[in-house]
Structure 1
Amino acid sequence: MSIRKLAHYSIRTQDLAASEKFYTEVMGFRVGYRPGFPFPGLWLYEDADESDYGIVHIIGVDPEEASGLVDYLGDRAGGDGTGALDHIAFLARHWREMRGRLHRMAVPYVERTVPILGLLQVFLRDPSGVTIELNYPASEAS
């Protein structure tokens, strides 16, 4: 197979500001380069390296003026996306720091351990309702 890794995932949102706040202040990504597409949005990066075009792409949906978005990506009537996505998972580290951030920002989460895999799993939701799974080494569990 020639596919080597997931490049990014995209989320459509009617609240671009809330999504930007979640992905920068909670998840710790930074807003970076994004071409001048005919619709609002953000590309979010883990660090200063922009060679892979970001990890998360936020697509702003303006119900009053969606022609640029519809022309470029097609119509998604009802906002139900392109399928039944359940969640997005990231490998992560520094759980203690993230836990503190989640508490300070009052972001609800569920914590589970999977001993056989050596994982601490943390589940939370972004402002558009997408479930995010953060996988930490089990040694970082509380």
Structure 2
Amino acid sequence: MTIAGMNHFTVLTDDVAKTVRFYGDVLDLVAGERPNFDFPGAWLYAEGRAILHIVGGRAREALKPGVIDHIAFSARGLGATLARLAAHNVEHICRQQVGSGVWQVFFFDPNGARVELDFAADESAEA
């Protein structure tokens, strides 16, 4: 067996529409085709791939963090991303890794899932 890469992440929510809107507005992910499961949800796409599955129908008090710490995406356009996060009033932390110089941006989605965006070291934080 060979692992070829990550296929998708799943976020549990009590509000599918709000979660889809957040990832669409903030990360430009696009809702697309999803099998007709017997539970509410959505699949969000980037560059033609369903990379984020949203599963609804969960009570807020049942949404507890597990052993997964965060979701990380490779991204392009650091300056524009920082401007977009600010425009949507999303609190975030931006830092540059020592050594590699990779830019990392961290924030939380409406469900409390921590999201990381990684940008190339040569990107500019200016919009």
Instruction: Give me the TM-score of the superposition, normalised by structure 1.
Output: 0.80
Runs of 5+ unmatched residues, structure 1: 64-76
- Larger Cα-atom Rg: 1
Query: Could you list the runs of 4 or more consecutive aligned residues of structure 1 that deviate by over 2 angstroms after TM superposition?
Result: 77-81
Equivalent position amino acid for 1:21 in 2: R
Residue type at the aligned position of 1:85: I
Q: Which runs of 5+ in 2 are unaligned?
A: none
Q: Please, which of 100, 103, 106 is the counterpart of residue 117 of structure 1? A: 100
State the shift of 1:78 in Å. 2.9
Shift of 1:41: 0.4
**In the alignment, structure 1 residue 84 sits paired with structure 2 residue 67:** yes
Q: Which amino acid aligns with 1:120?
A: W
Counterpart secondary structure, 2:99 = helix
- Normalising by structure 2, what TM-score? 0.89
Aligned length: 124
Percent identity over paired residues: 37
Q: What CA RMSD, in Å, does the superposition of the two structures yield over aligned residues? A: 1.7
The residue aligned with 1:55 is: 51
In terms of fraction of residues, the more helix-rich structure is 1
Structure 2 distance, partners of 1:111, 1:62, is 31
Question: 1:102 aligns to what SS in structure 2?
Answer: helix
The one-letter amino acid paired with 1:130 is A
Structure 2: how far apart are the matches of 1:91 and 1:103?
20
Q: Is the 8 A contact 1:29 1:46 kept in 2?
A: yes
